[in-house]
Amino acid sequence: MVRTKGYPEALEKKLHDQRYYSEDSNPEFTKNVKGISRTIAHMCYQCGTCTGSCPSAPRSTYRIRKFMRRAVLGLENESLTDPDLWLCTTCYSCTDRCPRDIAPTDVIMAMRNLAFKRDIIPVNFLKTVQAIYSSGHGVPNNDVNRAARERLGLTRDPPTTHMYPEYMPGIRKIIDHYKLKANADRIVKEREG
Amino acid sequence: MSEAQHKFAFYLGCIAPNRYPGVESASIKAMKKLGVELVPLKGASCCPAPGAFGSIDLTVFYAMAARNLVLAEQMKMDIALVCNGCYKSIWEVNHKLKHNKDLRDGVNEVLKEIDMEYKGTINVYHTAELLYNDKFIGVDKVRNSVTNPLTGARIAVHYGCHLTKPHKDREFEKEVMLNTEHPSWMEELVAALGATPVEYRNKMQCCGAGGGVRGYDIVHSLDITNDKLINLKEVKVDALTDICPFCQLQFDRGQIEIKEKFGVSYDLPVLHFAELLGLAQGMSPQDLGLDLHGISCEPFLQKVL
């Protein structure tokens, strides 16, 4: 570090810091978002192409550009406790158009993953996990559909885990490896009793 | 009937087989007429849902998608599928695992517990892509297979998001499929069936269902759908066609929910392209299970049958 100004050490340090931050910054958060998302949020120059492309923006306070800034600044609490985090439809229009080749959608996905680690997650997401754990399908078959399938000359159940439940133990083993089902059950029970 | 020139493991997903089974039966029958055999991918599960499942834990998402890929690897067959959401999971995870050793090793550590190993030996295709790409089928062959041209029907296309976006990561052989701002390759396929493809405002906008938003905030999600329906109404189409059963659910059942919640009705029939293709090749509406749709297809059918 070149020291030429003779400022107090703390200020010198701050002036030479390559990272922008505020009092609430958590550098670990920036690092974790980068690790999970595998994209380069720090390249963002805040042009707003992402928010301009976002189908959720015109009907809510969700601003993807704001989340991009939060990722760079390491604003963990602000990001993870904002209910707008869950309004991204993952249409990837922002990612498609980003002039800096960043994937803002994947930044959102990474933040959602980090939120889940703190039990911050809307229940509907967890119910998908529970459904897949029980039948292999997020949207399982039902009797009306079974009758219709038969009428169309198809098997009553599709040749998926529905027809071959012997594949279910393998699927459950994968989900249990990460304790995902146990965590989903616990959180759903806490919320819904 | 000629022998099948191409064979694929048919990855079904959830919504096609469990809500719109006509998409499954039409795909199998129509593709067979075009020289493509779709073989059941036994024991496949949910892809899993990229928005809902991926938002929770991407590591588990990768492992679950990899298991589906391994089933096809064991059959030594490439995968064909009919849903953009499934494409996002199955194609993209295949792509990521092929190119990132750290991800692949992580996934294989878990798959070892169930005696599986991801090797990266197969490719993944959407049936729309197979139909458009003359290496497999191509527009001309589609046109030649039509016995009941959908003449006079004005049809708009909903491309959906996850087949082509983000285009920077996609690897279609057909360059035009990488145009995500204003593509027209699906319109070529619609025209090949004898129908008139119709453009509309903000065609590439999302249906609003993805990312878990449909489950998280249904009104927000439907408001996005409603936006598209307003633009579609403006151009007076007889039907909307899609290549994603989840988008189809959002537009079809969604219109019923929109009527309930917003008090507006459109009665716009919504058909997967496989269903349209089936009709154009002479399958009956009964064979296609069109009566299972939330919005009646009758006015459209009267025009084309």
CA distance B201 to B227: 10
Of A59, A91, A170, the CB nearest to B67: A170
Q: Do B163 and B112 fall within a single domain?
A: no
Query: B71: distance to nearest CA of chain A, Å?
Result: 11
Query: A12: distance to nearest CA of chain B, Å?
Result: 39
Closest CA to B222 of B180, B264, B160: B264
pLDDT tens digits, one per residue of A46-74: 999 999 999 999 999 999 999 999 999 99
Of B126, B154, B179, the domain-final residue? B126
CATH number of domain containing B112:
1.20.1050.140
Interface-testing mutation among B55, B96, B104, B118, with chain A (most A C-beta atoms within 10 A):
B55
- Asked whether residue B140 is domain-assigned, the answer is no
Please give the single-letter amino acid code of residue B298: E
Inspect the interface and report whether the beta carbons of A96 and B209 lie closer than 8 Å: no
For range B118-135, the mean pLDDT: 98
Of A103, A125, A171, the CB nearest to B67: A171
Q: Do B276 and B237 fall within a single domain?
A: yes
Q: Do B114 and B226 fall within a single domain?
A: no
From A36, which residue of chain B is nearest by alpha-carbon distance? B58
Closest CA to B93 of B103, B84, B102: B103
Distance of CA B189 to the CA centre of its chain: 14
Closest CA to A94 of B100, B291, B211: B211
Closest CA to B255 of B277, B232, B287, B236: B232
Rounded to 5°, the CA angle B152-B156-B161 comes to: 155
Rg over alpha carbons for chain A, rounded to the nearest Å, is: 22
Of A86, A166, A171, the CB nearest to B216: A86
Inspect the interface and report whether the beta carbons of B110 and A177 lie closer than 8 Å: yes
Q: Do B210 and B291 fall within a single domain?
A: yes
- Asked whether residue B280 is domain-assigned, the answer is yes
* DSSP per residue, chain B: -PPPSEEEEEE--SHHHHH-HHHHHHHHHHHHHTTEEEEE-TTB-----TTHHHHH-HHHHHHHHHHHHHHHHHHT--EEES-HHHHHHHHHHHHHHHH-HHHHHHHHHHHGGGT--------EEEHHHHHH-TTTS-HHHHHHT-SS--TT-EEEEE--STTTSSTTT---SSGGGG--SS--HHHHHHHHTT-EEE--TTTT---S-TTTHHHH-HHHHHHHHHHHHHHHHHTT-SEEEES-HHHHHHHHHHHHHHHHHH-------EEEHHHHHHHHTT--TTTTTGGGSSS--HHHHHHH-
Inspect the interface and report whether the beta carbons of B22 and A152 lie closer than 8 Å: yes
| pTM: predicted TM-score of the whole model, two decimal places | 0.95
Of B126, B158, B192, the domain-final residue? B126
Please report which confidence band the pLDDT of residue B1 belongs to, taking 50, 70 and 90 as the band edges: very low
- Greatest Cα pair distance, chain B, in angstroms, is 56
pLDDT tens digits, one per residue of B162-186: 999 999 999 999 999 999 999 999 9
- Asked whether residue B56 is domain-assigned, the answer is yes
Q: Do B180 and B298 fall within a single domain?
A: yes
Query: B189: distance to nearest CA of chain A, Å?
Result: 23
Report the b/e string of B77-102 with b at 16+ CB within 10 A: bbbbbbbbbbbbbbbbbbbbbbeeee
Q: Do B107 and B250 fall within a single domain?
A: no
Of B126, B158, B180, the domain-final residue? B126
pLDDT tens digits, one per residue of A18-30: 777 788 899 999 9
Mean pLDDT of chain A: 95
Inspect the interface and report whether the beta carbons of B64 and A112 lie closer than 8 Å: no
Q: Which residues of B touch A105 (CB under 8 A)?
A: 166
Q: Do B66 and B120 fall within a single domain?
A: yes
CA distance A55 to A88: 8
Domain region containing B195: 145-304
CA distance B281 to A69: 52
Of B60, B167, B217, the CB nearest to A180: B60
Size of interface A-B (CB pairs under 8 A): 214
- Asked whether residue B99 is domain-assigned, the answer is yes
Q: Of A17-21, A92-96, B18-22, B250-254, which range is least confident?
A: A17-21
Inspect the interface and report whether the beta carbons of B205 and A138 lie closer than 8 Å: no
Of A91, A129, A148, the CB nearest to B206: A91
Percent of chain B exceeding pLDDT 90 equals 98
Q: Which residues of B touch A166 (CB under 8 A)?
A: 43
Inspect the interface and report whether the beta carbons of A161 and B45 lie closer than 8 Å: yes
Q: Do B206 and B291 fall within a single domain?
A: yes
Query: B110: distance to nearest CA of chain A, Å?
Result: 7
For range B145-174, the mean pLDDT: 97
From A134, which residue of chain B is nearest by alpha-carbon distance? B45
- Asked whether residue B131 is domain-assigned, the answer is no
Q: Do B73 and B156 fall within a single domain?
A: no
Inspect the interface and report whether the beta carbons of A137 and B45 lie closer than 8 Å: yes
Which pair of structure tokens corresponds to residue A109?
Answer: 């996905």
Query: B61: distance to nearest CA of chain A, Å?
Result: 9
Orientation of helix A168-177 relative to helix A123-135, angle to 10°? 140
Q: Which domains can be identified in chain A, with CATH numbers?
A: 19-117 (1.10.1060), 123-192 (no CATH)
**In DSSP terms, which residues pair with B158 in a beta bridge?**
B242
Inspect the interface and report whether the beta carbons of A170 and B114 lie closer than 8 Å: yes
For range B23-49, the mean pLDDT: 98
CA distance B301 to B285: 8
Q: Do B71 and B179 fall within a single domain?
A: no
Q: Do B120 and B153 fall within a single domain?
A: no
Provide the number of structural domains found in chain B: 2
* Below-50 pLDDT ranges, chain A: none
Mean pLDDT of chain B: 97
Which pair of structure tokens corresponds to residue B67?
Answer: 């298991």
CATH number of domain containing B250:
3.40.50.11810
Judged against a pLDDT cut of 80, whether residue B2 lies above it is answered with no
Of A87, A93, A184, the CB nearest to B165: A93
